[in-house]
Amino acid sequence: MAKKKIKINLAKPWFDRREPEAAYRVVKSGYLISGPLVEKFEREFAKKIGVKYAIAVNSGSSALLVVQQALGIGRGDEVIVPNMTFISTASSSLYLGARPVFADIEMKTYGIDPEAIVKRIANLPASRRKKLKAIIPVHYAGQSCDLDPILKIARKHKLFVVEDAAEAHLAEYNGRKVGGIGDIGIFSFTPSKPMTTGEGGMITTNNAELAKKCKLIRNFYDINKFQWHEFGFHFRMPETMGAIGLVQLAKLERAVAMRMSIAHRYTKELNKLGCIVTPYERTRKDINFQLYTIMLIPGALSIDRDKFIDELGLRGVQARLYYPCLHKQNVFKGMGRYNDNEFPNSIAFEKNALSLPIYPGLKNKEVNYVISSIQEIVKKYKT
């Protein structure tokens, strides 16, 4: 008998009655912006990450813009970023007039490769090395990347370290929460994240001067009512988002634990198939499984990754590549000449990686369905 097909989305937010109730109270109060709930959300988030300051904004992409402007990054400067990440990690620099410099990833955490950073810096002309201002390591899929060597490189070359922890809520590195280890960090709260405010983002730092600048930049750089001292943005977080954020923050540990449970069920079964690389775990505290990303072993199946995703889709299971290589994106033409040979790991990832459904509301029968669907595909196409 044919297996009944069901629809399983890649991600879903985890809400109960408390989120709409919190948002409704804000709407009913009429206090929609610059209110006490956003300020409370900032304080509580800072405590959760273990930093002195948290600054709420309207998106993670906005956070990257604000942070780099606060660091003085602008026209003519250069910023090292991983070649595999969401576009705003790199486009935020471009928006400010700086040039993103792409470096390859490593194949355990899929974070930026410290050796690739060293090589990239060494290969830059001296005139461009002088313009380097920062490194933006990304904690991909909620997995903390290898920060210690990156911090060492940054100190040697007097560069800022901006942690892109957009996906890495509660993930740790050597016992410390990411987003609080570099000079400054950012988080995102879009619906696929371990916690969401719809849109929204947060900046985290222990530097009082940077925190002050970020607060000014997110609000037009208004130093006193209608006194605009420098260029700023309209990036404030609305009160409704702050209210939802407080509810979600209170559930964050539980949400991560549920993701962890699902991920370990996937890993146990998929490791038996002999054709899939499952996510690396340095320790269980170092990853939140914002995504569950697997790699197909080249040559182990008679189909490629895209066909594998199509086969899952035919069975009602949504899967997707997160993310393609940035050096090939049209928006970055003119940012320098790059060759695919410079990015063997990013290219391999782009060709063979896919992410599977994972979120707190995913039911046991749905997890089993995803696993059995993959088992069917592997049985059909294994070489």
The answer to whether the CB of 85 falls within 8 A of the CB of 113 is no
The answer to whether the CB of 32 falls within 8 A of the CB of 26 is yes
Q: How many angstroms separate the CA atoms of 277 and 37, rounded? A: 43
Pick the closest to residue 184 from 166, 157, 164 (CA basis).
Answer: 164
Tokens standing for residue 351 = 């060709």
Alpha carbon 361 to its chain's center:
21
Counting Cβ atoms within 10 Å, is residue 85 exposed (0-12), middle (13-18) or buried (19+)?
Answer: buried
Active-site residue flag, 193: yes
Pick the closest to residue 84 from 64, 104, 65 (CA basis).
Answer: 104
What does the angle CA 177 – CA 277 – CA 320 come to, to the nearest 5 degrees?
Answer: 80
Helix and strand counts by DSSP (H, E) for the chain: 13, 14
For residues 182-217, b (16+ Cβ closer than 10 Å) or e, as one string?
Answer: bbbbbbbbbebbbbbbbbbbbbbbebeebbebbbbb
Q: How many angstroms separate the CA atoms of 232 and 332, rounded? A: 24
The answer to whether the CB of 109 falls within 8 A of the CB of 143 is yes
Which of 193, 213, 215, 251 is an active site residue?
A: 193
| Residues with a known catalytic role | 193
